Amino acid sequence: MNSIEISTEIAKIKYWHHHFDFGDGIETKQGKEGKFCRKFQQWILSGIPEDLTDKTVLDIGAWDGFYSFSAEKRGAKRVLATDSFIWQQQELYGLDHNFWRDFGAGKQGFELARKIYNSQVEDYNIDVLELDKDKIGTFDIVLFLGVLYHMKYPLFALEKVRSVTKELLVLETHISLFFSLFPQPLMQFYPSNELSKDVTNWTGANIALVKSWLLTAGFRKAELVKWRKDRAIFHAWC
């Protein structure tokens, strides 16, 4: 695809969750939003080895697939992007198809980016709670970004994630700022749209609880590596 074709196709997609720089000044996010998105993505990538040769990577909740394609660029021998909620635009929690269509959810960004990059990243439409090594295999590095607080059963979700992780989990999630002031594992529950007016948000765990969940799920070690306001990045090792 040439630059004009790429620009035309990108413009057809109403919302991009990730920032992509396709060269020749073609980017998916501009201005302050693009600047913050670039910085946030760099925080995630800084915790992943620059050289992923001979490594396998799983990106859970991939959406547009930025981290999947980044792992491929770093030499990973296999990258699998999975999603369900966004790719299917599921009619859950009272949000109908029109909501997700107007919001911009879907798989079109992922498919276009894969085409532009001529990528070999694999994709599999599967819910987090259905993850199973017999279905998808196990992976050296697993990315679980921006998904945990959307889970009604967060500990069960982390147990499923652990079942397909061989070495390192990179977890990014919303946390409760107030409860994170306390050393005890605590959580705020959002039964409706209390968090960002989004009824798909369920839990606001504090830092201590996320670490406890990770250890309970079967990881041998869990650390907080970045904390900015109500978002935090954790690493957990098998």
Nearest alpha-carbon partner for 174 in 203, 137, 209, 142:
203
Q: Locate 195 and state its tokens.
A: 């968090």
Its pTM stands at 0.94
Q: How confident is the model at residue 197 (pLDDT cuts 50, 70, 90)?
A: confident
Residue 19 lies in a domain: no
pLDDT band at 178 (very low <50, low <70, confident <90, very high): very high
Question: Do residues 104 and 14 touch, judged by C-beta distance below 8 A?
Answer: yes
In a domain, 29, yes or no: no
pLDDT on residue 177 = 92
Instruction: Record the tokens describing residue 81, joined without a space.
Output: 């992007």
> What residues are paired with 5 via a beta bridge?
none
Taking 70 as the threshold, does the pLDDT of residue 153 lie above it?
Answer: yes
Domains of the chain: total: 1
Which structure tokens are listed for 4? 């004009």
Confidence label for 85 from pLDDT (cuts 50, 70 and 90): confident
Kindly state whether residue 61 falls inside one of the protein's structural domains: yes
State the maximum Cα–Cα separation within the chain, in Å, rounded to a whole number: 55
> For 82-153, where are the alpha helices, taking DSSP H only?
85-88, 97-103, 108-117, 133-136
1 or 117: which leads in pLDDT: 117
Residue 17 belongs to some domain of the structure: no
How large is the average pLDDT for residues 42-67? 97
Q: Is residue 24 part of a domain?
A: no
Taken in order 19, 79, 222, 158, is the CA torsion positive or negative? positive
Kindly give the pairing relationship between strand 203-205 and strand 187-189: antiparallel
Residue 57: inside a domain, yes or no?
Answer: yes
Give the Cα separation of 59 and 69 in Å (integer): 10
pLDDT at residue 205 greater than cutoff 90? yes
Q: Which domain holds residue 222?
A: 47-237
Q: Is 34 part of any domain? A: no
Question: What is the C-alpha separation between 57 and 39, in angstroms, rounded?
Answer: 22
Q: Residue 76 is part of a domain; what is its CATH number?
A: 3.40.50.150
Average pLDDT over all residues of the chain = 93
Task: Report d(CA 221, CA 171) in Å as an integer.
Answer: 13
Residue 16 lies in a domain: no
One-letter amino acid for residue 9 of the chain:
E
